[in-house]
Amino acid sequence: NHTKPLVIATWNVNLEAEKAFQTLQAGKSAVDAVEEGCKLAEANIDNITVGKGGLPDRDGHVTLDSSIMDSHGNCGSVVYMQNVTHAVSVARMVMEKTPHVMLAGKGAEQFAYEMGFKKEDLLTEKAKKAWDEWKVKSQYEPIINIENHDTIGMLAMDANGDIAGACTTSGLAYKMNGRVGDSPIIGSGLFVDNEIGAAVATGLGEEVMKTVGSFLIVELMRQGKTPQEACEEAVRRIVTKPGSNYKNFQVGYIAMNKKGETGYYSIHKGFWMTKCTSEKANNSESEAFIK
């Protein structure tokens, strides 16, 4: 069942995965596909963890993190970017139009305007209301699974077997001002090696960064592990650290290898993967470390 083309994504994002799949079917590249899929999530104001409508930091700023990698090993990312909805597209422009990999904050925003992106207020009424309610107690606790859709991470393989990936997020709700997560950090939130496969992460970014999770998964696949085994090992690295507080946070990984085999695993139940190999995407819940 190693069908090509193929799209997988974190959480339940059928429309986004189908959009990416249609992009591949139209003969476009894997990197076009993941960009198109992620853009749909960024524009959806009902999704409170990505793009416009994302929940703000504790001071009320919506700050976006995103990264993208193509099948030639090129990558681009933006961190702590405000006022521009399509962070994934700006990340792609960083990859394609600058000599750099990563742009941050005001610099990323300025670059986006130079590239023709428009300035938008990303804090919606719904997100502002949630923030106002949070401020009553101002208690920061990682939320384990937010409504089954969350940071979107997407991997695509085109009809030639070439792989690309992207991820986009507003990061953890009510994070400290200035906080950057794993999603824009190449190797942590996302890694693609077109010879081997690709992986993408969701959940508490600090724990993903400490273990360089996505790069780890790709390297484990290079050593012969299946995508499933590699995702399980990357979760195990987190939970077996001395003193790991893993009962109180979620991390989930998805991966694919060059054969089109896929895998996914998480610490807690409630993590889902979307897979699309035909017109309609399917979702399935991940096996979890905590049974």
Closest CB to ligand SD4 among residues 184, 263: 184
Q: Which residues of 4-17 are buried (b: 16+ CB within 10 A; e: fewer)?
A: ebbbbbbbbbeebb
Bridge partner residues of 75 (DSSP): 69
Question: Scanning residues 74 to 133, which ones bind ligand SD4 (CB under 6 A)?
Answer: none
Closest CB to ligand SD4 among residues 171, 263: 171
Does residue 67 interact with ligand SD4 by CB under 6 A?
Answer: no
**Helix-, strand-, coil-residue percentages of the chain, each rounded to 5:** 30, 25, 45
For this structure, is 151 an active site residue? yes
Closest CB 78 distance from ligand SD4, rounded Å:
13
Question: Scanning residues 132 to 151, which ones bind ligand SD4 (CB under 6 A)?
Answer: 150-151
Q: What count of other Cβ atoms lies within 10 Å of the Cβ of residue 51?
A: 28
Residue 77 CA to its chain's centroid (Å): 12
The span from the CA of 229 to the CA of 218, in Å, is 11
Q: Which amino acid is at 3?
A: T
Closest CB 151 distance from ligand SD4, rounded Å:
3
The span from the CA of 68 to the CA of 88, in Å, is 7
Q: What is the CA radius of gyration of the chain?
A: 17
Of 49, 151, 211, 277, the active-site residue reads: 151
Question: Scanning residues 34 to 53, which ones bind ligand SD4 (CB under 6 A)?
Answer: 49
Q: Which amino acid is at 48?
A: I
Does residue 260 interact with ligand SD4 by CB under 6 A?
Answer: no
Closest CB to ligand SD4 among residues 163, 209: 209
Closest CB 225 distance from ligand SD4, rounded Å:
23
Closest CB to ligand SD4 among residues 150, 232: 150
The span from the CA of 181 to the CA of 7, in Å, is 24
Q: Which stretch binds ligand SD4 (CB under 6 A): 35-43, 71-79, 177-185, 266-274?
A: 177-185
Q: Which of 56, 165, 181, 187 binds ligand SD4 (CB under 6 A)?
A: 181
The closest of 44, 77, 21 to 200, measured between CA atoms, is 77
> Is-contact 12 270, C-beta < 8 A?
no
Footprint of ligand SD4 (CB under 6 A): 49, 150-151, 169, 171-172, 181-183, 202-205
Q: Catalytic residues, which ones?
A: 151
